[in-house]
Structure 1
Amino acid sequence: MSRILLVEEGEGAASVLLDELRRAGHEAEHIEDGAVALHRMLTSPPALTLLGVELPRVSGLQILEKIRARSDHPIIMLTARAQESDRLRGFDLGADDYVCKPFSPREVVVRIHTVLRRCSQRRHVARPSMPITFGTVRGCAILDGHYLPLTRRESLLLRALSQEPGRVLTRSKLLEAAFPEALDVNERVVDTHIKNLRKKLATVSAAHDWIRSVYGVGFAWESRARQDA
């Protein structure tokens, strides 16, 4: 059983989700006020937080930013389907996942289990055991013992992705990592470099999809540890 915090305005909508969480065996608490929720997350963090965007006093995105400055506490954002900018901003700030309203309570429970499992694996897999290392020579990476010749952009992208296995990085975040000096580069250029990077990663293991696409958002690195779990 995990302790889940639901931070969302509206007692009626929250009650249905709370019932489903408890039915799934979780201990669930509901807070509507953003400032109260932030204090609770900092002083007595739950296993995972379901975080709405529009909240009294402190917004969900502000809470996310403050929490990420201190910890990697699992957070799933709850956003309206029309608020694409909020979803992208949430991933940029470090959200682990998002669920669009209106949502199925059962789907939320499944997302919770997925995020908790992913975060548990991320915490228990030590950095040295990661299947990828970067050599001192620019553009050199070694994946599962295989040498990968990379361009500078590919190397920067791969470093950014592999530093946080399982976490989705938006195109804008990856653009910052791979083109730190460029101001007028279109985000879609990231897709081109990811495509080339995937071809090189496939030479190591064609059966393993090292880079997972999240439609309309960005990409996540899938370590061998998670694939084999």
Structure 2
Amino acid sequence: MTVELVKHSASDTDVLWAARVSTAGEQSLDELGKDPERSRGLINFLMRDRHGSPFEHNSMTFFISAPLFVFREFQRHRAGWSYNEESGRYRQLQPVFYVPDESRKLVQRGRPGKYVFVEGTQAQQELVGRAMTDSYQQAYATYEEMLAAGVAREVARAVLPVGLYSSMYATCNARSLMHFLGLRTQHEQASVPTFPQREIEMVAERMEAHWAELMPLTYDTFNGNGRVAP
């Protein structure tokens, strides 16, 4: 998975001036020149008591390359998000496909909402690699055959599987990202259990690492309050 932070306007001071406008009016802009560490308690109060709007006055844009099935889960997150994805109508899609490595647990045990994944056998790992590769090669060969015959890209792409890699820009604010992370990662400090698919969790972990550097106080209070979005 590829996750790059391509642009941002995000810092802990964004939370502070947005919050203090309610009592200080235009003087709240004084927060822009102050050390946000002195107001750690305010950020924690906002997070703990779920006063969420001050966490929306910032922006982060990520470039993400991942399989299509990851994007289809990703784009269920709509509030506070904007997306622009590579188009199979306007360009020939490249033969880059997802095959899980041996770190990907293959076997699901339990029922929905209360299940775990465990390592597969060597035979299962070999089957996944062989079957996926064969399927991808056949699908892409069919795609190229149709393109060579003059079939429109938007029609020919229908044969391609969801393991195909795509790319997109995703823009969000800290509040929407916290909601995403609360659902799409498992974390020891989380107060609510989650069961994300591992592939989208890999993307989420990389986004989280970028955000933690931009807004360290907000990130700490997010973790300290059970990783629940305000």
- The alignment's TM-score, normalised by the length of structure 1, stands at 0.24
Q: Which has the larger radius of gyration?
A: 2
- The alignment's TM-score, normalised by the length of structure 2, stands at 0.24
Higher helix share: 2
